[in-house]
Amino acid sequence: MSKRNRGLHKRLLVLAVAGAIGAAGLATAAVPSGGRFATLTQPTHLNRGDVVQNALPLTRQVSVTVVLKLRNEAQLRTFNSQPHAAMSHAQLAADYLPTPAAAQAVADYLKQAGFSNVRISSNRMLVNATGSAATVQSAFRTSLVTVHTHDGRNAFANSSTIQIPVALQGSVQAVLGLQTVHKAHVLARAVPNDTVGVEGHNPLDFASIYDASGLKPASNINVGIIGWGSMAPTLADLNTFTATNGLKKVNAKVVCIDYGGYDSGVINTTDPTCKNFDQGTTEWDIDSQDIIAMSGGVKSLTFYAAYGGYNNSITNAISQTVTPTAGEPLAQVVNMSFGECERNQDSGQGGDGSAQADDALFQLGAAHGQTFSAATGDYGSDECGDGQMDSASYPASSPWVVAVSGTTLRASSTTWARENVWLDAGGSPSSFEKAQSWQSGLTYGQYAGARGPDVAFEANPSSGAIVVVNGALEQWGGTSLASPIFVGAWARILQGNPKLGFAAPHLYALPTSALHDIRAGNNGQYIAKPGWDWATGLGSFDVGEAVAALK
């Protein structure tokens, strides 16, 4: 679809949404009187096949997440743009986090508008609250409708702009939770049924193949995984994997976000089922088993379990990961094997603003010395499915995470031979994120200066990882495999040099002798070339060589 036709399609969908409201109009619940309102974000744009049905019942309970802006963000970006020691929470609070007064002003507005269970996060970045659809519509001067999505879900969305009081405009970044049409998906791929003559790898093989097995295990490093749903099956499979392979049992923890279901707004740290059902055990099995195998073992592995991949639940999980509750470890490396078309999250393209919200949280993590790693996607260069050449997956397109693309690995169980681009590996310029200083000079062509992938590791399911899923061995791949391989590698590197902190600037300082430059293959629109490229970034790297280079 051309850009012109795509814009026309969006406008027609917005008109359809508005028509569905009809005479129902806006709710008339009382809001604080006086003051002016300003538009924050546009109506939710819908995908082809999404069908607007009715106005959302006014009694429907909705949890909202109001995300505040960082202070002195330009200064924080400068700090994060070069290698740095971890900044203390006290310094972040003094110079960059929203002020207590700003967070309290948002909380007061929500209470006055009729919301209940109003809570300010410990880092003051989020204010969560619960209210009826009537309350939501009145407080944010918007309309909510039900939508049957193209993938068969019953969802809802805001059909008109979201507005906030002008008095809050300087401090509020986004209002999340007003749509469930767009959400993240996992990036795991099963081995094709017609694969012949190709064998997968025990996850332990990757440590040998990428030259990490001779290094000390990452026994002093805390690692995190963000996902969703019950983690009980994953913990059982992880125990089976470690026992079968003679590894030490993992010190695993689970933090449930939205405990008991979407919109609950409750955090629980004692029940690994999250009072929920399995929403992707295979994905979290791939993540956890490959991280442990590649790292040789970690100090702790914390699963941050949101709900269903919904944008506001993921934002709440990222906030919890960046500023954990007392007693929870601060994860030094965090895996995210999920994503969605970045246009659905970018407030400038009809998204809900969760990309801008999460970017702010990722910057806090980078300042802390944390490294978030994200899979670039399994739909080749066109994650958005719209034929555009700037079609990236978020959160991988955030410049404040490490974006990991995928390769087809040629190796024995112990020795690297070569890698090509995996045809389905995500990798393209971002449509709105800019490359930071460590990457910008390497970008090229029409989208020079845009954000692209950083590194790439094995992702082809035909030669992928053989992991334990529900007690049995299965072979899987996808960039969901590539990202945890990087996470395990970086954890091992941190074991020898924990002061390295945020990985991205350091990766671009690696000598060519440490890099496996990917020079063959393509992912659709982008072809591998010598040096950095849009399909695989810098390529993969020899972990032992990287450790020596980064001392």
Q: What residues are annotated to the active site?
A: 283, 287, 480
Specify the DSSP class assigned to residue 235: H
**Tokens of residue 267, six digits:** 């955090």
Q: How many Cβ atoms are within 10 Å of 167's Cβ, its own excluded?
A: 15
* Cα(102)–Cα(334) distance, integer angstroms: 29
Do residues 135 and 55 lie in contact, with contact meaning Cβ atoms separated by under 8 Å? Answer: no
- Pick the closest to residue 334 from 283, 402, 267 (CA basis): 402
Nearest alpha-carbon partner for 14 in 160, 197, 166, 123: 160
Helix extents (H) in 334-468: 354-368, 437-440
**Which one-letter DSSP state was computed for residue 288?**
H
> 512 forms bridges with which residues in the sheet?
none
Q: Which residues contact 355 (CB under 8 A, 6 or more apart)?
A: 342, 345, 346, 347, 394, 395, 397, 398, 432, 433
Distances (CA, A) of 300 to 212, 441, 528: 19, 37, 37
In this structure, what token pair is assigned to residue 206? 């990757």
Paired strand residues for 164: 38
Q: How far apart are the first and last CA of the chain?
A: 49
* 3-class SS of residue 84: coil
Determine the Cα–Cα distance for residues 256 and 271; give it in Å rounded to an integer: 8
- Which H, E and C letters describe 219-231, residue by residue? EEEEEEEEEECCC
